[in-house]
Amino acid sequence: MTRSPHRLAATLGVVFAALASPACSPRDAGGTKLDEAVADARAAAEAATRAAEHARGAVAGGAAESAADRAADRAVAAASDVAITSKVSDAIAADEELRMTRIRVETRNGRVVLAGSAPDVQSLERATALARAVDGVVWVENRLLVELRT
């Protein structure tokens, strides 16, 4: 299978932009780092799309083009998932009642999984509502456990 070097470079650029984005560093109270991360992810996705369109003419054979398209789509989805995870984590951290909880957020293809513990049922439901409110979230699985108090 032959891959266009432009397509591969664009795909790698999206992945590296997502991993090196400001979303991986501490955020300020105003969410500036998150906004920058989302903008970087979108710009990287747009660059990958432009590179893919350019590469389509240079790639010989439908199988190679299809494989390159799938790889680029996965890279763009991964960058989007990083942005969604960051937004959900920030929403939970900004919430007065949830900020002290230990909630892990994972995202794959827009599907968010919340794991960890919550102090009560209301907090569990609040975390789900915050995750659902984030753009790009298509589904939320809440695996939070309510802490037993003695």
For 80, 96, 105, 134, 150, the CA distances from 145, given in Å and listed in that order, are 27, 19, 14, 22, 16
Q: What is the pTM of this model?
A: 0.57
> Residue 64 pLDDT > 70, yes or no?
no
pLDDT band, very low/low/confident/very high, at 71 (cuts 50, 70, 90): confident
pLDDT at 36: 64
Task: Quote the mean pLDDT of the chain.
Answer: 75
State mean pLDDT over 71-98: 86
Please give the DSSP secondary-structure letter assigned to residue 24.
G
Between CA 13 and CA 10 the distance in angstroms is 5
CA distances from 16 to 21, 48, 137, 138 (A): 8, 12, 22, 24
| CB-based contact 116:98 (threshold 8 Å) | no
